[in-house]
Amino acid sequence: MRAVKSVLVMAGSLKRSQKDLEEDIVLIRAMRDSNVPKFLKDDLPLFSALIQDLFPSVTIPDVSFEELENQIKETIRKKGL
């Protein structure tokens, strides 16, 4: 039940921050964001297939982390790494 609660808490946070997102997309992103970091690389295609089977008509937009990537690159450059 803790895993379900963590997905719901993440979904609530995501919905509050992006009010225009549809609820199915919010739920899919919350499930993906809370579970993908725990999986091995070989398990990711299976997880993606499960999500696609559960939500066959939903296209999940990719999330851009461009700002984070730019900040990481800038910090690396400043530190001379």
Successive 10-residue mean pLDDT values, the chain, 81 residues: 84 89 88 88 91 86 86 95 88
Q: Where are the domains of the chain?
A: 2-79
Here the tokens at position 8 are: 């719901």
**pTM for the full model?**
0.69
C-alpha span between 26 and 36 (Å, rounded)? 15
Q: What is the pLDDT of residue 67?
A: 92
Helix-helix angle 2-17:23-35, to 10 degrees: 130
